[in-house]
């Protein structure tokens, strides 16, 4: 018996070790791909396989970043884009929660609005950006509205779908306990949809960033989107590529932070 | 003897674009205080519809229901309903699940909470009050669902195939267990089941419904000579097989 349990323990340990080794291996490969890519990029620029004027190089990106940070403009542009994205993300969450709740409350309303939502969701929102500029000018307001417009309709549809998928028997249970529709929403539909709302939020933060960059392309005098357009117009491609790399980092950070929040909520409510 | 519930010529139809489906036709029966009534019938005959009508979730198209509620309210506050699955909410602890009804009716009074404490103790769920439903066994989940129902102190309990989601062995134990607990409270119970053995072993009276549209085909009072209190006592009673065969014939003839 004792022997047996000892054997099992080692088996378990072996499994754990294999599991850990697998994860280390994956992490190693990821790092390797990144380093190799940078090295290849740098090398091909140094050896003039590619024209570093057009394709830049890691060292030029670092130089550009240092210069921009020293003149203090880059941090400002990053800050503007961050602010606009977070603002439109939060507004998207708020409006989609309100709108999907209204749709859930009134089946008639949802039936009436369904085709409009579908059209607005499939419409390429960048087509609307020029209109926003004319209506709202070229300030942060326009950019935030552009960010909202990209994420909002899909988000409303996802939220509403999540609400609709609530277990109808659980709603019946609320009624048998003497509850009304409001109780059904607050106690079954909303809490039951939290996982779905969280995964939609993860998509939304990315879409809000897309909308903000589109808006900055067209209407801004600041922000990373503006920097990319400006850089391409004056042929400062180092600046363009540096901004794009910063955008990559921002997108990653956004995604990770929503993921962390999601994880916290899941632990809190054990979902 | 006063009937707690009286159904008179209840009729109900479902409507869709293809026409009308008659679910219930001219259903009349009464249920006495403290009585256990089982309703059996061919599948899809409208048993659940009948229960929904009694619970006040559906309004009958024809006929009347008299629920012996002192205040004569429409919402049937005196009725507790147990659905086919326990439907405990995973996002709430066991304790917050069993207090759900009180929370909805805004009756979280000290006396009611005291009752819940007592039931949790009696049903052996005290240790699990802060656990999530998924950490409970099938039987404990049903007990928690029963506390949630009893918390509102209903006089009449409606059980809609409440054990059908459980595996056979758990089901035997849990159905006997839950019905014993309900017996101890002295409450009236109507249980819908498609398990004839369950109906015979649990009920005082069995109401057999016909196929669609459902009518009351027969009412069978059940009297079993029980040797002991064990779970299988009812199923081992000498009369059990006779009741079973008679019900079987009723339902088979229907198809």
- Phi and psi (nearest 5°) for B214? -70, 130
- Measured between beta carbons, the chain A residues lying within 8 angstroms of B92 are 191
Alpha-carbon gap, residue A45 to A55, rounded angstroms: 8
Q: Residue A95 sits in a domain of what CATH number?
A: 1.10.3720.10
Q: What is the pLDDT of residue A104?
A: 93
Query: Which parts of chain A have pLDDT scores under 70?
Result: 1-8, 270-271
Taking each helix axis from N to C end, the angle separating A73-105 and A140-164, rounded to the nearest 10 degrees, works out to 40
Would residue A61 count as lying in a domain?
A: no
- Measured between beta carbons, the chain B residues lying within 8 angstroms of A177 are 100-101, 104-105, 148, 152
- Are B83 and A172 a contacting pair at CB < 8 A? yes
Q: What is the pLDDT of residue B230?
A: 64
What single string gives the DSSP state of each residue in A181-240?
HHHHIIIIIHHHHHHHHHHHHHHHHHHHHHHHHHHHHHH-SSSHHHHHHHHHHTT-HHHH
A159 closest CA partner among A149, A170, A151, A150? A151
Would residue A37 count as lying in a domain?
A: yes
Residue pair B27/B12 in contact (Cβ under 8 Å)? The answer is: no
Cα separation values, B76 from A18, A73, A183, B66, B223, Å: 60, 69, 17, 10, 31
Give the H/E segment covering residue A246.
helix A237-269
Same domain, A16 and A77: no
**In terms of residue numbers, what domain contains A239?**
70-269
Chain B touched by A195 (CB under 8 Å): no
When divided into structural domains, chain A yields a total of 2
- A71: Cα separation from own chain's centroid: 29
Block residue for tokens 């134990």: B173
Give the H/E segment covering residue B58.
none
Task: For residue A168, give how far its alpha carbon lies from the nearest alpha carbon of chain B (Å).
Answer: 11
Q: Could you report the per-residue pLDDT of A83-93, keeping only the tens digit for each?
A: 999 999 999 99
Q: Which member of B57, B84, B90 has the closest CB to residue A176?
A: B57
C-alpha torsion sign, points B128, B132, B137, B139: positive
Would residue A181 count as lying in a domain?
A: yes
- Are A178 and B87 a contacting pair at CB < 8 A? no
β partners of residue B21: B14
B144 closest CA partner among B114, B124, B160? B124
Same domain, A44 and A74: no
Alpha-carbon gap, residue B241 to B231, rounded angstroms: 17
Q: Could you report the per-residue pLDDT of B82-128, keeping only the tens digit for each?
A: 888 888 998 888 999 999 988 888 888 888 888 888 888 888 888 88
Same domain, A32 and A74: no
- Look up residue B214 and give its DSSP letter: B
Same domain, A85 and A211: yes
Residue pair A84/A223 in contact (Cβ under 8 Å)? The answer is: yes
Alpha-carbon gap, residue B73 to B89, rounded angstroms: 29
Same domain, A24 and A113: no
Helices and strands, number each (H, E), in chain A:
12, 0
Q: Which residue of B has its CA nearest to A170?
A: B87
Would residue A59 count as lying in a domain?
A: no
Residue pair B183/B164 in contact (Cβ under 8 Å)? The answer is: no
Global pTM reads 0.81
Residue B76 scores a pLDDT above 80: no
Mutate one of A175, A178, A266 to test the B interface: name it (highest B CB count within 10 A).
Answer: A178
Tokens of A180: 């009304």
Same domain, A13 and A86: no
- Are A179 and B104 a contacting pair at CB < 8 A? yes
What single string gives the DSSP state of each residue in A24-65?
HHHHHHHHHHHHHHHHHHHHHHHTTSS-HHHH--HHHHHHHH
Would residue A92 count as lying in a domain?
A: yes
Alpha-carbon gap, residue A49 to A41, rounded angstroms: 10
Task: For residue A177, give how far its alpha carbon lies from the nearest alpha carbon of chain B (Å).
Answer: 5
Q: Could you report the per-residue pLDDT of B228-252, keeping only the tens digit for each?
A: 666 677 777 778 888 888 888 888 8
Q: Output the furthest CA–CA distance in chain A (Å, rounded).
A: 80
Q: Which member of A170, A269, A270 has the closest CB to residue B87?
A: A170
Same domain, A96 and A124: yes
- Are B101 and A169 a contacting pair at CB < 8 A? no
Same domain, A93 and A200: yes
Same domain, A92 and A34: no
Residue B219 scores a pLDDT above 60: yes
Block residue for tokens 């392309």: A217
Same domain, A139 and A195: yes
Would residue A166 count as lying in a domain?
A: yes
A213 closest CA partner among A242, A251, A264, A239? A251
Would residue A57 count as lying in a domain?
A: no
Alpha-carbon gap, residue B149 to B102, rounded angstroms: 10
Q: Which member of B81, B91, B132 has the closest CB to residue A191?
A: B91
Same domain, A138 and A108: yes
Residues of B with CB under 8 A from a CB of A: 55, 57, 75, 77, 79-81, 83-85, 87, 89-92, 100-101, 103-105, 132, 148, 152
Residue B37 scores a pLDDT above 80: yes
Alpha-carbon gap, residue A103 to A170, rounded angstroms: 20
Q: What is the pLDDT of residue B177?
A: 80
- Measured between beta carbons, the chain B residues lying within 8 angstroms of A192 are 89, 91
- Give the SS3 label for residue B111: helix
Would residue A60 count as lying in a domain?
A: no
Q: What is the residue-averaged pLDDT of chain B?
A: 83
Structural domains present in chain B: 3-87+155-254 (3.40.50.300)
Cα separation values, B160 from A7, A23, A260, B47, B142, Å: 50, 49, 42, 8, 13
Same domain, A75 and A182: yes
Residue B140's contacts (CB-CB under 8 Å, 6 or more residues apart) are B124, B125, B128
Cα separation values, B189 from A184, B33, B186, Å: 26, 9, 9
């Amino acid at each position: 018996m004792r022997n047996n349990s000892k054997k099992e323990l080692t088996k378990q340990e072996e499994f754990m070790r294999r599991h850990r080794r697998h994860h280390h291996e994956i992490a190693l490969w990821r790092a390797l791909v990144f380093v190799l890519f940078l090295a290849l990029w740098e090398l091909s620029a140094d050896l003039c396989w590619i024209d570093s004027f057009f394709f830049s190089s890691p060292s030029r990106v670092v130089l550009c970043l240092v210069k921009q940070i020293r003149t203090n403009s880059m941090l400002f542009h990053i800050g503007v884009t961050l602010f606009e994205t977070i603002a439109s993300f939060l507004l998207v969450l708020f409006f989609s929660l309100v709108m999907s709740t209204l749709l859930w409350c009134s089946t008639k309303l949802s039936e009436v609005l369904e085709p409009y939502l579908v059209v607005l969701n499939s419409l390429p929102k960048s087509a609307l950006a020029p209109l926003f500029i004319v209506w709202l000018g070229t300030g942060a307001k326009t950019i935030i509205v552009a960010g909202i417009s990209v994420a909002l309709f899909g988000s409303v549809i996802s939220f509403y779908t999540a609400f609709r998928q609530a277990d109808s028997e659980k709603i019946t249970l609320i009624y048998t306990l003497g509850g009304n529709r409001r109780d059904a929403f607050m106690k079954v539909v909303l809490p039951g949809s939290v996982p779905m709302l969280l995964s939609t939020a993860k998509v939304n933060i990315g879409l809000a960033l897309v909308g903000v960059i589109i808006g900055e392309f067209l209407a801004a005098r600041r922000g990373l989107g503006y920097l990319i357009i400006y850089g391409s117009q004056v042929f400062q491609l180092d600046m363009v590529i540096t901004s794009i790399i910063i955008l990559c980092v921002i997108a990653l950070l956004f995604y990770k932070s929503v993921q962390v929040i999601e994880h916290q909520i899941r632990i809190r409510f054990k979902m | 003897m006063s009937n707690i519930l009286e159904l008179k010529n209840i009729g109900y139809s479902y409507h869709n674009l293809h026409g009308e489906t008659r679910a219930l036709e001219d259903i009349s029966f009464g249920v006495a205080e403290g009585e256990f009534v089982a309703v059996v019938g061919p599948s899809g005959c409208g048993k659940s519809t009948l229960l929904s009508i009694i619970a006040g979730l559906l309004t009958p198209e024809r006929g009347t229901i008299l629920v012996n509620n002192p205040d004569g309210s429409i919402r049937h506050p005196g009725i507790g309903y147990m659905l086919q699955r326990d439907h405990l909410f995973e996002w709430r602890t066991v304790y917050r699940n069993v207090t759900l009804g009180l929370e909805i009716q805004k009756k979280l009074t000290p006396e009611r909470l005291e009752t819940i404490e007592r039931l949790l103790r009696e049903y052996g769920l005290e240790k699990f009050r802060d656990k999530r439903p998924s950490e409970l066994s099938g039987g404990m989940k049903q007990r928690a669902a029963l506390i949630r129902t009893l918390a509102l102190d209903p006089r009449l309990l409606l059980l809609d195939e409440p054990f059908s989601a459980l595996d056979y062995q758990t089901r035997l134990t849990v159905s006997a267990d839950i019905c014993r607990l309900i017996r101890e409270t002295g409450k009236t119970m109507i249980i819908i089941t498609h398990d004839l053995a369950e109906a015979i072993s649990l009920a005082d009276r069995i109401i057999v419904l016909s196929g669609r549209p459902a009518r009351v085909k027969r009412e069978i009072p059940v009297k079993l000579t029980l040797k002991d209190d064990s779970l299988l006592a009812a199923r081992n009673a000498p009369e059990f097989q006779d009741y079973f065969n008679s019900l079987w014939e009723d339902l088979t003839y229907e198809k």
